Structure 1
Amino acid sequence: MQHIKSDRNYSNPIVLFDGVCNLCTTSVQFLLACNRKENLHFASLQSDFAKDLLAQYKLTNEELSTIIFIENEQIYTKSTAVLELTKHLIYPWRALYFFKFVPRMITDWVYNLISRNRYNWFGKKNQCMVPKPEWKHRFSE
């Protein structure tokens, strides 16, 4: 987790995800469906918006292999990002947040295993996900 003061003031949490990864885009669709407050916003890591945001937060290309969750000017990656996201979901999914008490070394090991194999196991698209019209306002390009 990084805490960095940003020049921009985002009022909603932002999820940066791999827009060509089938697992990632399916996960985003799940988040959209289970986030009743509709306060989560999204951008693919391949978008200009995400590239600008990554540069602003001084993140390197190495972070491009992970989900990035930014909330209240704090940056979360890997399993920490996933667990922080669960706080914004409906029950029973919200209860997954309690996995935060499992040592990060273990949760990141599981995350890294899935991340390294995500294209082989779940496939990859040729282009980034295009959101449904009813979700478009929650995406930055």
Structure 2
Amino acid sequence: MTDAQPIAVMDGTCALCSWGARMLHRLDRSGEIRIATIQGETGAQLMRAHGLDALDPDSWLFIEGDTVWRDFDAVIRVGERSGGWGRLCSILRIIPKRLRDWLYARVARNRYAMFGRGDMCALPDPAFRARLLP
């Protein structure tokens, strides 16, 4: 399905997720983190493999080796893994996990109304597009 590189799985039609993917691309200078949209074959397979419904795209996954982070924890881990300014995401750990999960769920359910839609696959940057998995 995928190689051993870390993979971030997110909604490819969400403007907030598209912004997150662009930030990941900018911050991860190693170029190791790959991106799979839930609308793609790889992303949908990964969602199902971790007990999530790809047709109900309220979850964000980050898979690194045998470890899987979901939702806000995934966002935090991607920031930490990316290094540089991304490490500031660690500050979010001061928010109690139950509250982080609640906040994530509220934003995820209302993300289109709050941020609109976007198509990260349509972004013209060839280096960014090289990170995208089918």
Alignment TM-score, normalising by the size of structure 1: 0.81
Q: Distance in 2 between matches of 1:58 and 1:93?
A: 25
Alignment of 1:48-127 (within 5 A): 48-55=41-48, 57-61=49-53, 64-125=57-118
* Unmatched segments (≥5 aa) in structure 1: 1-7
* Structure with max Cα Rg: 1
Q: Distance in 1 between matches of 2:35 and 2:53?
A: 19
- Aligned-pair identity (%): 23
Aligned length: 132
Q: Distance in 2 between matches of 1:110 and 1:58?
A: 22
Amino acid at match of 2:113: N
Alignment of 1:1-20 (within 5 A): 10-20=3-13
Residue 122 of structure 1 and its aligned partner are, at CA, apart by 0.7
Q: Distance in 1 between matches of 2:89 and 2:100?
A: 12
Amino acid at match of 2:100: T
Is the 2:22–2:128 contact (alpha carbons within 8 Å) kept by the matching residues of 1?
Answer: no
Alignment TM-score, normalising by the size of structure 2: 0.85
* Unmatched segments (≥5 aa) in structure 2: none
Question: RMSD across aligned C-alpha pairs, in angstroms?
Answer: 2.1
Q: Distance in 2 between matches of 1:102 and 1:29?
A: 25
What corresponds to 1:129 in structure 2? 121
Residue 103 of structure 1 and its aligned partner are, at CA, apart by 1.9
Q: Distance in 2 between matches of 1:83 and 1:103?
A: 13
